[in-house]
Amino acid sequence: MASNVVDAVVLFGDSITQGGWEPGLNAFGEQLSPPKIRLLTIWYGANDSTISSSPHHVPLEKFASNLREWIDLVHSPNSPHYSPTTRIILISPPPVNADMRRADVESRNPPQKLDRDFEYTRKYAQAVREVAKDKNVGFTDVWTVLYEAAGKDEESLRKYLTDGLHLNRDGYQDGLYDVAWSEIHENQLVTASGDGSLRLWDVMLNDLPIRAWQEHTREVFSVDWSNIKKDTFASSSWDGTVKLVRDIPSLFSPHQPDILATCSTDGTVKIFDLRSPAYVSGPGTNNFTNPISAAALTVPASPGEVLTIDWNKYRPFLLASGGVDKLVNIWDCRMIKPGELNQVGGARETQLFGHEYAVRKVQWSPHRAEVLATASYDMTCRVSMEDEGTKLDPTDIFSSSLETLFDYQPITLASAGTVYIHEHNPPSNGLCATPTSLKITLRTPDTLAANWSLHASDVWASSRYLADHLDQLGLNTFKTAEPEQPVRVLELGAAAGLPGILIAKTFDNVSVVVSDYPDELLIKTLAENVERNGVADLCRAAPHAWGSDPSSLIGDGGGFDLIVAADTLWNPSLHDLLLTSLQMTLKKTSSARIHLVAGLHTGRYTIQSFLDAVQKVGFEVESATEKEVKGSQERAWNVARGDDDKERRRWVVWMALKWKDYTSSRL
């Protein structure tokens, strides 16, 4: 693991870029991109080079002009995004096989017309080459590489394409499997390639790579630079070998420069000692001609293939491994005894579950000894606290990073299946029944409910804002129709139940129901949160699908005096169902109120569409105010106000609703 985590490689392109047509560094995640970008690749043209009748077609001159403008955004001193140290590499669009493409589009329902032409792609690839030369940036000619690999025969391109356009496994065989930044030169990195080569690159030089080694006979799966012997890196390959490269230590111990750990398809983790007499590397000796035949230690890590390992940066004997068995194992190497070649042993300290497919990468945090990140072929990343056995989500780590590194307010504070501790400090205005500070501990639901759009498992900033401002609900002075009766409170879309449980914890004249979509695991977690915080006498969890019969919520109470909800307006297709539930559950009294808090990530026009719908179903908007998340500023709701992402995160919208047919006076 490299110690420097602020540098990045950004891949910018259309859907041909590893099939990546989903959003990347945009929307909520745009500010997570590091402030320093070393390398920028631009791979455009697969869609632009369609025939002129296609709606995707971009004329050749405009295509070249676009490339020049993008380069100028980074390299022009007059650009607000000027970054002279960012290395740019243009990548040409690939060639197409028109017959394969025609068969693919004509087989669709409804059938479509052919939109690609081999000669068109040749012209666009040449345009990319010319722009790269003119702008003095790097260039990778994918078109020519594939065409020459096919023997300069369009029909033979079938070997490398799935549908005449997108690359198949053979087309990607020379792809990169791993990368490691140099521990000596900040602009250099080594890559592991599918063709068995290792290549050393300098992001500031156009003549790339600056050095290459062709020592492996199959794909190079992993590469790691020693952070102690900084002139040495190691590589491991599917050919079954680990090789060391010097002159410029498959994974070196960050505590001992001569200890190297490897993992293998035989299910073992092996630890080699480079001080072994079997390893000789003297003058005139090729580093690769004197292999170490016996490992110092061998761990039977898995019954299947082990794909990844990593040393803990703070605990010299701790090693994590992952593989095709979908498990992450943490090993204490002090419990492994040296011995003969066939002698194995080891003690597994911890085993982590959760991934649905093979674990491709494990990596310990460079900052905290107990934090381990894992990535899997199930397309998820998990972050675990090894000491506490508590799973974290990258969202939780990013939420604090947004504030501390980028001065951005986080939208979510805890994600699905994690523990969230809320510290409540009541205001000094006397409007909360409990004047002392307190903590509540919540576990967020980690549900696989198919109706994911009907509920949320995260703790949102709007939920915390509502919990931090319970005094604005007026519960301490609320008067019911019968003085001896408690104020009945309902939280809809409760998720972990933060506001509702805190109301029960803070006020003693209430009866609270926290509710969410009727998923068994979701409601079970919600009920456990009620029990965990000792408010079961005042609060209960109940399932409710919006728009359905609310009798399980209401019971014999005749409705609720107060309904609260946080971040429940983001899906406009559910507004009608939510309003139906509000109509059926709010008491028909002049004092009954609905308080909704929404973050501006919901979208101003989405919020306004809800406020417009409110007027049509018997409710009245008593107030709609934008409130500063961290601070005391307030401003009137304005649907037309323009905000950038940073500004949107600073505010929530607090809406108070009441029945239109009743006077505003309290009973």
Which residues, 6 or more positions from 381, have their beta carbon under 8 angstroms from its beta carbon?
A: 373, 374, 375, 394
Q: DSSP per residue over 436-498, as a string?
A: S-EEEEEE------S-GGG---SEEHHHHHHHHTGGGGTGGG---SSTTSPEEEEESS-TTTH
Compute how many other C-beta atoms are within 10 angstroms of the C-beta atom of residue 211.
Answer: 14
C-alpha distances (whole Å) from 485 to each of 432, 480, 511, 561 are 19, 7, 9, 11
Measured distance CA(276)–CA(83) in Å, rounded: 47
Size of the chain, expressed as the number of residues it contains: 667
Q: Which pLDDT score, from 0 to 100, does residue 397 have?
A: 45
- Top mean pLDDT of 54-63, 82-91, 216-225 is at 54-63
pLDDT over 90 at 467, yes or no: yes
Q: How confident is the model at residue 102 (pLDDT cuts 50, 70, 90)?
A: very high
Mean pLDDT of 600-619: 90
For residue 536, report the phi and psi dihedrals to the nearest 5 degrees: -65, -20
Helical residues (DSSP H) of 347-450, grouped into ranges: 394-406
Mean pLDDT of 166-179: 74
Helix, strand, coil shares of the chain, percent, nearest 5, are 25, 30, 45
Q: Which pLDDT score, from 0 to 100, does residue 610 have?
A: 94
Measured distance CA(71)–CA(64) in Å, rounded: 11
Please give the order of strands across the beta sheet that includes 297-300: 251-252, 259-263, 268-273, 297-300
Higher pLDDT, 257 or 89: 89
CB-facing half-sphere around the CA of 563: CA atoms within 13 A: 27
Q: HEC profile for 556-624? A: CCCCECEEEEECCCCCHHHHHHHHHHHHHHECCCCCCEEEEEEEHHHCHHHHHHHHHHHHHHCEEEEEE
Mean pLDDT of 219-245: 81
pLDDT in tens, 537-590: 999 999 999 999 998 888 776 799 999 999 999 888 889 999 999 999 999 988
pLDDT over 60 at 218, yes or no: yes
pLDDT in tens, 388-425: 444 444 444 445 544 544 456 777 777 667 788 888 87
Q: How confident is the model at residue 665 (pLDDT cuts 50, 70, 90)?
A: very low
Measured distance CA(101)–CA(161) in Å, rounded: 10
Between 347-351, 530-534, 651-655, the lowest mean confidence (pLDDT) is in 347-351
Higher pLDDT, 454 or 172: 172
Mean pLDDT of 139-155: 88
